[in-house]
Structure 1
Amino acid sequence: MTALRLALTELRRIAASRVGRLALVAMVLVPSIYGGLYLYANDDPYGRLSEVPAALVVEDEGTTLSGGERLEVGDQVADELLEARTFDWARVARERAETGLEDGDYDLVLVLPAQFSADLASSATNHPRQATLEIRTNDANNYLARTIANTLVSQVTASVAEQVSSTAASRFLEGFADIHAEVSDAADGAVQLAKGASSAHDGAGTLATGADRLVGGQEQLASGADDLADGADDLADGLATLRSSTTELPSQTRELADGARQVAQGDAEVAAAGRQVADATDDLLADLKQTRSRLAQDLQDAGLTPEQRTAVLERVDALSGPVEEANARVQSTADDLDTLSEGADQVADGAERLAAAAPELTDGIARAADGSTQLSSGARRLADGEQDALSGSRRLASGAHDLDDGLDELSSGASTLADGLAEGVRDIPDPSAKQRRAMAETIGSPVAVDRDAEAAAGSYGAGLAPFFMSLALWIGGFVLFTRMRALSTRALAAGQPAWRVALGGWLGPALLGAAQAVVAFGVVALGVGIDVAHPVLLVLFMVGVSAAFLAVIHVLMARFGVVGQFLALVLMVLQLVSAGGTFPWQTLPGPLHPLHHALPMSYAVDGVRRLMYGGPLPQLALDVAVIGGWALGALALATLAARRAGTWTASRVKPELAA
């Protein structure tokens, strides 16, 4: 019995009844129903956004420009949105919009606030402000409405910005003509100013030279007087400060000596008291030990058992421990107090010697301070007179030099100004009205986008088609093996070769899978209307993908039986999240990358994309090789599963014997 005959036998078994034939047709249509209906429902959702309810609130009060024109951008934006019908716009008040968004009447709300035009116009002032578009969404109504609304607001913002930039640029360019004429007149005046300033500069130079000679002699005389006065002032200030600082020194040192003596006496008394406390704690500790001995004897005389006496004495010992620690601390403290008393006596002796010498020191400082004050007064009177004379000569020289420098700068600046204005007149553009309009349009929208795609999907549904067609083929294969047997029990019992049994078990579903692929292609390409660049190659590729998917599901069913259905479902979920059918696979979390590169659905999606959109075909060879490798590997493993299933054991004949 050949593998083909085994496959046909299995197909006849399923189609033996009317219900079986209906089930067979239904299984063939499963991928078409799944993929076709989904792609039909999502073929072009962006093209039907005009059915999405949205509220438009225009509160813009407009503004008056400096030239007297009215600017009412809010109404203009509203008219453009209503005309474009990007959404099913309803122009309403803010209260109605907020209530409708909360109740689900609107999926989004776009608000143009009262200061919208005024904020836009502020770009031409010294205090520009950004205009604000308010957008309100409610994800409880629809999450994607927020994403679409953000895109819409970006487009509106770009459009408004282009209009504002073009208007501002146009006004800016119009001012160039006036600037050109005014700068030309200013250049002529700057030439005349430069000539007059040059003549005045020559006279001021002569005056400044004479004033410099007068200042030179006066500076030498004043310098010596200043040095003398400064030195005398410093000496007097220092001695006066020292005198004032030491006036109270004798009384302070006497107070220090008396205080130090009192501290020494107090420390001696504290040390004596500390020694008495130390002696008392020693006596207390000795009495406590004697008391313990007497207590032990009294307890014994009272007739207490050794255990009872031990319990009582342990409590006494627990009290003696802290007493011993306290005695050790008291003894240490008494020693420290003795040391402190001796140090205080030494400090008191030193303070007495300091107090005795302080009066003679303060008298000497006072006499020196009186003499330095008289010296400073005379030197300062001399220096003041010389400074008055020097100041007058310096003011004369300074004024002469300032006049000379100013006239020099004026002459140089006037010449530079004349040259710069003359050059500026040539550089300032003087465009015609037509040129200004063209320049304003370019400034308002400086970048144009030239879009080109090597391969492009025609719609949202076409973008999803490769993923859902691949997924539909897996689901179709999964459904087939809910009705078809992976291995023929009759062939196994007849001793057919394992490879033939495995191939026969796969070949029947593969024929139905090919029919699934062809019907699914027809529904997507003809029913849904998605354009296909390489229709014949795509049909052949889908048939091959279906055969490979069926081989993988077949080996799971052949090896694990009913459990294989669960494993096939798990494998489908793994491929569902790792194939990269919606977002680029690079956006997947890192742990899913190996699954993307290893599992066959990733290559199925890639191959369908290239054949559907018309992308480069060399990469298709890798897709075919990987999918073919999965198919051959699965068939080889199915052969091993068939060989294992052909070995009859006691547990298979009578499973209860294994219990």
Structure 2
Amino acid sequence: MKSLSVFAKDLGAALKNPKVLIPMLVVLFIPVMYSGLFLKAFWDPYGKMNELPVAVVNEDKGARYEGKELTAGSDLMRELKQTDGFQWNFVTREQAEAGLDDSTYYMAIIVPEDFSAKATTLLDETPQPATLVYEPNEGYNFLAGQIGGTAVKDIKTKISAKVTEAYTKSVMVKVTEIADGLGEAGDGAGKIAEGAGKLDDGALKLMDNLLVLTDGTGKLLDGVKPLTSGVSELNSGASALQSGSSTLAGGLQQLSAAHQQLQTGVAQSTAGSRELSGGLKKTVAGTVQLQNGTQAAVEGTAKLQDGTKSVVDGSAKLAEGLTSSEAGSAKLTAGLQASADGSAQVTDGAKAVAAGLQQLAQSNPQLAASPAVQQLLQASAAVAEGSEKLQQSQQQLVQGATALHSGQEQLLQGAAQLHAGSQQLDAGVTALHSGAQQLHSGSTQLLEGQKRLAQGAAALETGGGKLTAGMQQFGTKLSEAAAGGSKLAEGGKALEAGTSALLSGARKLGDGLSSVADGSKQLAAGAGELKEGTAELKSGSGKLADKLGEAAEKTSAVKQSDAMIEMFAQPVKIEEHRINEVPNYGTGFAPYFLSLGLFVGALICTLVIPMRESAVPGASRLNRFISRTLTFSLMSILQSLLAAIIVLYGLGLEVQNIALFYTFTFITSIAFMWIIQAIVTWLDQPGRFVVIVILIFQLTTSAGTFPLELIPDWMKFFNPLLPMTYSVRGFKSVISTGDYSLMWSDAGALAIYGVAFLALTLGYFMFHNRDSEAAVKSEQVLTV
């Protein structure tokens, strides 16, 4: 009771002395000033961001996209005018730079002139992102720059969503067009399949006809071999005829010369009548042989004339057949060329379809991932490859048909030459036959004349004149026979030349028919490959038509709507579920500033309240300890009570439990007070310096502002050793999280700190010697 009496006397003396009472009342408001004013200043800084001046510059010139005007910069300006985020100042670039230089604006947002133009390059080969220039005046206020950076990111998100909506609308239009195009492609593929079926039937007929052509060419080649052999024999006979006709012509020349001599010797006929009679007998015999020879020549030339007429007729028929064959091969070449051109168009179309489908898959990854689209891509690639092979096969067929046509043209030329030679041969044979007939007629006449000469030999003398006339007539006929012999020799030469040309033409005909046979075989083989290719084309085009139909049906199912476009533009939305929600900065920083205010308030108390002595003379050590401790504890209770009331009702701080908040505030305040009391009691003025150092370490390591993980590692060592760590964490529990078990744990830690340091204070009073009287008097004693 005596200890409480000392405390009561000290308190009564203080209340009666204004110089003591006023400083004590001022010290009571130190925690309120720290925590209340700081929290008030930073209670909700984002609530007044509309007073933060920001310069906005729009230099965007706009752009055209899909036939529409895109003005992303102007759209942004309208969006900002409807937003209360900052105090927007829409100025020029020069005004913005001047405002940043003289600190009129905290930051500037600049929309470049190519902002809209770059926003339209998304689907280009090298897209360029639209750039929004942000220039914070961090030297003026760093935190304002950081806040502005966050706001600019939000603006960027909104602009990106608007641009994406424009892209999505364009893509949806393209998808609709693709659906229509796929439907048309499906119809076209159906027509391709129908045409491929007809082409398959035509290829089958072409293969059958080429097989018939190959067989006929083989038979024609077999028929040409006997012709070549007959023409060779005919050429040999013509050579023999030419040799015989030459000999006959020479004999007739000799006979003509002999006739001249005979005519000369007619004048001497009287003297040599016997010799003439004998010579005439020999002449009659020779003439008979000549007549027999000319008769055989007439018969031979008649047979030769019949043979040459057959040759002329055969060569004419051969020429007609080759003409028809040449016309057919020309039509075949033209048809194959048209088929090749058609297949080339089919190939180009198939490749275009495959390329279009490939571009569609690349522009739409979701569509490309569909199995049906993958099958469609494979089918279109197979059709393109098959149609290309078909085109190559048809090109080979065209080349073979061209070679066949060229060979048949050569055959036709050879047949024409053969026909012309056979006609010349026929003319020569006809002339030879005529000459042989004339020769036979002349020899008959010669025989008759010789007979008459023999009959008139008796009357030779009297009929000399008649003999001379007959000899003249005989000479004329003999000259005619000699001329006929010459013509016969010339006809033999012509016949030999004609048969040689006929033999050469027959050989060329055989070679040409061999080439035709080889070409027809190659055509037949190519037609077989064409048949296989058309079958594959028919099958592949059918599949292509089916798959294109399915793709068109699935693509047309994509319907454009505002909800879908919004989903494309903003596929992800953030749904925020706050755990232990903190409504504003003031609530978040309250644990830190309350701890700081109570600690500083306890420190200031040591400046106005004596630490060791009492106003009661002769008070014992224990009484002085109890009086000082109760005094500091009372100050602590009053400080904590004022601070709690101000933040709860003055600032409107919302806590999980008001009673526990008061309790924890009192525990924190008295623990800080007992800690500082012990340090200053033991060390006096140096003790206050030590307390300030402890305060500094607590400000940086208590995790009241930034998380503990963000401070340097060597500072983390002090976190569990200092009391403010537990006060900050306990206030967070009772204000925001509602984790009362953690709050009581932290309160226990603070109580341990307080009791431990209170024991140190008791130790000082119980075991430390009293200061000298001069030291006691020098201390400013507050009579409490």
CA deviation string 1:469-525 (max 9, x = no partner): 11000000000111112333688965444xx65444222111111111111122222
Summarize the Cα distance change of 1:554–1:183 in structure 2 as closer, same or farther, 3 Å threshold.
same
Partner amino acid for 2:49? L
Q: Which residue is 1:123 aligned to?
A: 122
Residue 427 in 1 paired to residue 554 in 2? Answer: yes
Partner of 1:71: 70
Structure 1 residue identity aligned to 2:548: L
Cα distance in 2 between the residues matched to 1:568 and 1:398:
108
Change (3 A) 1:178 1:37: same
> Deviations for 1:28-62, whole angstroms, at most 9, x for unmatched residues?
01111121111112222111111112111110111
Question: 2:737 & 2:98 partners in 1: Cα distance?
Answer: 49
1:430 CA drift (Å): 2.8
Amino acid corresponding to residue 58 of structure 1 in structure 2 = N
- Tell me the TM-score normalized by structure 2: 0.55
Q: Which amino acid aligns with 1:131?
A: A
Match of 1:529 in 2: 652
Note if contact 2:621-2:766 (Cα within 8 Å) is conserved in structure 1.
Answer: no
Q: Give the superposition deviation at 1:130.
A: 0.6
CA contact (8 A) 1:187 1:418 kept: yes
Alignment of 1:136-285 (within 5 A): 136-194=135-193, 196-197=195-196
User: Cα 1:21–1:407, aligned 2, differ >3 Å: closer, same or farther?
Assistant: same
Of the candidates 457, 461, 466, which is equivalent to residue 591 of structure 2?
466
Specify the alignment match of 2:572 in structure 1: 447
Distance in 2 of aligned mates of 1:170 and 1:160:
16
Task: Output one character per residue of 1:359-411: Cα deviation in whole Å (capped at 9) or x when no partner.
Answer: xxxxxxxxxxxxxxxxxxxxxxxxxxxxxxxxx99999997797577546534
Q: Deviations over 1:307-361 (max 9, x none)?
A: xxxxxxxxxxxxxxxxxxxxxxxxxxxxxxxxxxxxxxxxxxxxxxxxxxxxxxx
Contact 2:702 2:719 in 1 (8 A): yes
Quick one: distance in 2 between partners of 1:22 and 1:93?
A: 58
C-alpha separation between the residues in 2 aligned to 1:628 and 1:472?
18
Q: Which AA in structure 1 matches 2:549?
A: A
Residue 45 of structure 2: aligned partner: 45
Match of 1:578 among 681, 693, 701: 701
Q: Which residue of 1 aligns with 2:761?
A: 638
**Equivalent residue in structure 1 for 2:673, among 526, 546, 550:** 550
1:82 Cα shift? 2.5
1:70 is paired with a residue whose SS is: strand
Does residue 456 (structure 1) correspond to residue 581 (structure 2)? The answer is yes
Within-5 A mapping of 1:538-617: 538-617=661-740
Displacement of 1:131? 0.5
1:555 aligned partner, one-letter code: A
The answer as to whether partners of 1:62 and 1:116 remain within 8 angstroms in 2 is: yes
Equivalent-residue separation in structure 2 for 1:626 and 1:516 (angstroms): 21
Q: Who is 1:415 aligned against?
A: 542
Superposition pairs of residues 312-461 of structure 1, within 5 angstroms: 407=534, 410-432=537-559, 436-461=561-586
Aligned equivalent of 1:514, options 615, 618, 637: 637
The DSSP-based 3-state class of the residue aligned with 1:109 is strand
Q: What residue ranges of structure 1 are gaps of 5+ in the alignment?
A: 212-391, 654-659
C-alpha distance in 1 between matches for 2:524 and 2:652: 98
Matched to 1:108, the amino acid is: M
Indicate the residue corresponding to 1:35 in structure 2.
Answer: 35
Shift of 1:182: 3.0
Q: 1:22 to 1:397 in 2, by over 3 A?
A: farther
Q: Which residue of 2 aligns with 1:26?
A: 26
Deviation at 1:106?
A: 1.1
State the Cα deviation string for residues 71-100 of structure 1 (Å, max 9, x = none).
212122112213313222211111111111
Counterpart check, 1:109 vs 2:232 = no
Q: Do 1:100 and 1:106's aligned partners in 2 also have CA atoms closer than 8 Å?
A: yes
Confirm or deny: 8 A CA contact 2:34 2:596 kept in the other structure. no
Whole-angstrom distance in 2 between the partners of 1:546 and 1:647: 29
**1:456 CA drift (Å):** 2.0
**Relative to structure 1, is the Cα distance of residues 90 and 646 closer, same or farther in structure 2, using a 3 angstrom cutoff?**
same
2:748 aligned to which of 601, 613, 625? 625
Greater CA radius of gyration, 1 or 2? 2
Which SS does the other structure have where 1:90 is aligned?
strand
Q: Measured at CA, do residues 142 and 394 of structure 1 come closer, stay the same or move farther in structure 2, by a change above 3 Å?
A: farther
| Residues 580 and 736, structure 2, Cα contact 8 Å, conserved in 1 | yes
Q: Secondary structure of the equivalent of 2:607?
A: coil
1:594 CA displacement: 2.7
Q: Secondary structure at the match of 2:567?
A: helix
Give the direction of change, closer, same or farther, for the CA distance of 1:409–1:66 in structure 2 (3 Å limit). Answer: same
Structure 2 residue identity aligned to 1:52: L
Is the contact made by 2:66 and 2:170 (CA closer than 8 Å) also made in structure 1?
no
The code of the aligned residue for 1:618 comes to S
Q: Percent identity?
A: 28
Deviation at 1:577, TM superposition (A): 0.7
Contact preservation (8 Å) 1:7, 1:506: no
Report the Cα offset of residue 526 of structure 1: 2.0
Take 1:465 and 1:615, find their aligned partners in 2: how far apart are those partners? 15
Mapped to 1, the partners of 2:151 and 2:664 lie a distance apart of: 39
Amino acid in the other structure paired with 1:482: L
Aligned partner of residue 428 in structure 1, secondary structure: helix
**Whole-angstrom distance in 1 between the partners of 2:645 and 2:564:** 54
Q: Which amino acid aligns with 2:39?
A: L
Q: In structure 1, what residue type is equivalent to 2:674?
A: A
Q: Which 5+ residue runs of structure 2 have no aligned equivalent?
A: 212-518, 777-784
For 1:422-441, what per-residue CA distance to the aligned partner results, in whole angstroms no more than 9, with x for missing partners?
32133224355xx5221101
SS in 1 for 2:718: helix
Aligned length: 469
- RMSD (CA atoms): 3.4
AA matched with 1:437: D
How many angstroms does 1:119 deviate by? 1.4
How far 1:609 moved relative to its partner?
1.9
Q: Work out whether residues 9 and 616 of structure 2, in 8 Å CA contact, stay in contact via their aligned partners in 1.
A: no
**Structure 2 match to 1:323:** none
Distance apart, 1:147 and its partner CA: 0.7
For the 8 Å contact 1:61–1:72, the answer to whether it is kept is: yes
1:198 & 1:566 partners in 2: Cα distance?
Answer: 104
Is the counterpart of residue 484 in structure 1 residue 609 in structure 2? yes
SS at match of 2:135: strand
User: Judging changes above 3 Å, is the alpha-carbon distance between structure 1 residues 51 and 649 closer, same or farther for their aligned structure 2 residues?
Assistant: closer
User: SS of the counterpart of 2:741?
Assistant: coil
Moved more, 574-583 or 117-126: 117-126
Cα distance in 2 for residues equivalent to 1:401 and 1:638: 116
1:121-142: CA deviations, max 9, x gaps? 2225444321110111222211
| TM score, norm. by length of structure 1 | 0.65
Residues 10, 616 of structure 2: 8 Å contact kept: no
Deviation, 1:144, is 1.3
Secondary structure (helix, strand or coil) at the match of 1:580 reads coil
Give the letter for the 2:100 counterpart: L
Range that drifts further, 4-13 or 82-91:
4-13
Contact 1:487–1:501 (CA under 8 A) maintained in structure 2: yes
| 1:246-298: CA deviation from partner (whole Å, max 9, x where unpaired) | xxxxxxxxxxxxxxxxxxxxxxxxxxxxxxxxxxxxxxxxxxxxxxxxxxxxx
Summarize deviations over 1:543-564 as a string: whole Å, max 9, x none: 1100000111011012212211
